[in-house]
Chains A and B, each alone.
Chain A
Amino acid sequence: MANNSFVTRIACGFLAALALASVSAAALAQNPKAGNSSDTDTRAYNKHDFGGLWSHNPQEFGLPPCPECREQYPIPVPGYGYFGDVPARTPEGERKLQMTRHGRGFEPDSEGAKKYPNLDPAYKRAGLPAYSNDPEARCEMMGLARSIVMNGPNSAMEMVHTQANDRLIQNFEWYGDHRNIWMDGRKLPNPGDYLPGVNGYSVGQWQGDTLVVTSTGFDERQWVDMYGFPISENAILVERWERPSPNRLRVQLTLTDPVNYTRPWTSTVKAWALIPKEKMSISGWSGIFDDRCIPSDEALFNSFRNHAAGLGEK
């Protein structure tokens, strides 16, 4: 019975997420910022081929800038994240959020916090990073949504289609992490059958020229983004990926997580620019870096950072 209940919950969540994803697709199409592409390349291309190296910072590779690849949230919150139409949290979700500490966003009562009175209070909780309990500050898991929405200098990523085309592999530069999007028609698993996944379990299917990816089974120790938003194991994350022009890739996410949020949560549109292999190359060695978070390196960094909180040796 419990399993049936679980399957029902997953099915309902999946259907709700799909319905909302349709709404999101409409929003995506209507979002002028998302729709305006700075890509002037008019060559023919395969809209179903996401393979290649992608970056939010093409200028870092000697290519023209991509304004739409920068965060599109209308309020310039320090940092980068999931953003979008942030929902109210459930009591449980708010409790978990308030347990997190980090150095992102505006400080309480700061000038920035006062300037945007309608901004969700979740973005007005920044404290000194030395007091943070951010998983990233200990090289613990980033998690799927957080890896996707990261928009910093180490956020280059690679997409790889397998030869059998039964799987799309997404490699994230920061953390050297990867996720599999299974395209072979399988159904989502029951997360309780094994361990929750750092990046959950993902299946994808094409709806026209949009790749709709649905994931569940998230390890609850991860945050949705750097602001500490929680995610539950049975949450459903739907990503709608598109390649609107030869050199652009974009996605919008919708998180359905009734444990933590009072309604589904749709992100801002995230966009990347295609980086030719020869441009993402150092001394002839091309590709994203194997840029891992090594605990001893992070500990050394934190020992320096502690001085900035008055916690270092005198």
Chain B
Amino acid sequence: MMSTSRKLLCLAAALLAANSGWAHHGSGISYDTTNLWTTWATVTEFNYLNPHPTMRFERTTKDGKVEQWVSELLAAPAQLARAGWTRNRSNEALKPGTHVKLYLGTSRVGGFSAIAMRIENEKGESIVGGLGENRGNAVDMDGVPGGLQPKKPLLGQTSGDR
């Protein structure tokens, strides 16, 4: 049994590591990670590359429409490899056609773009993740058209083009 102090130590370590991976490419600015949501999806493309892996997936809404989404993963390949998610293992786990449950933060400008904070296989196991993966208080939006979109979409030109 892990002692409470050791659990707290591990939690602190995980949070520290999560923070360390967060700001490398400004992901915190691009995506709303305070309002996570989940959906089942089918992987159509996965790229295990620097600076962060990217993935395309499709999800089917309750009315039968198929949405095409793009996403990036939080962890960089070096971080994934050290967590045991080597390139071969990751590519196998997310090969096109794979059915996965995604914990997503939609881009702050809205649309079908998100960051995948956690990926689960059909058994509910975390895959292609590392320190920093996050369920948050994700709400189930499976089948809901558009998933969870920002209430006040950020206007891109006002944020970066100064």
**Is B111 on the interface with A (CB-CB < 8 A)?**
yes
Which range holds the interface residue count of chain A? 35 or more
Contact between B20 and A297 (Cβ–Cβ < 8 Å)?
no
Encode contact with A along B127-156: 1 for CB under 8 Å, 0 otherwise. 000010000000000000000000000101
Shortest distance in angstroms between B111's beta carbon and chain A's nearest beta carbon? 6
With A153-B75, A307-B113, A309-B160 as contacts: A301 and B26 at CB distance below 8 Å = no
Query: What separation, in Å, do the CA atoms of A226 and B82 have in the docked complex?
Result: 25
B30 near A130: Cβ-Cβ < 8 Å: yes
A60–B79 Cα gap in the complex (Å)?
8
Given A102-B26, A308-B30, the answer on whether A107 and B113 have CB atoms closer than 8 Å is no
Q: A297-B50, A307-B70 are in contact. Are A282 and B30 (CB under 8 A)?
A: no
Bound Cα distance from A132 to B23, whole angstroms: 14
A7 at the A/B interface (Cβ < 8 Å)? no
Chain B residues lying within 8 Å of A308, measured Cβ to Cβ, are: 30-31, 72, 107-109, 113, 115
Residues of B participating in the A interface, judged by any CB pair closer than 8 Å:
9, 12-13, 16-17, 19-31, 47, 49-52, 54, 70-72, 75-79, 81-83, 86, 107-113, 115, 131, 154, 156, 159-162
- 29 sample A-B contacts, Cβ–Cβ < 8 Å, listed by A number: A60-B79, A60-B131, A70-B20, A79-B23, A80-B23, A101-B160, A127-B160, A128-B159, A129-B25, A129-B29, A152-B23, A152-B24, A153-B20, A153-B79, A154-B76, A226-B23, A282-B86, A291-B50, A293-B51, A297-B51, A301-B25, A301-B49, A301-B54, A308-B31, A308-B113, A310-B109, A310-B156, A311-B156, A312-B113
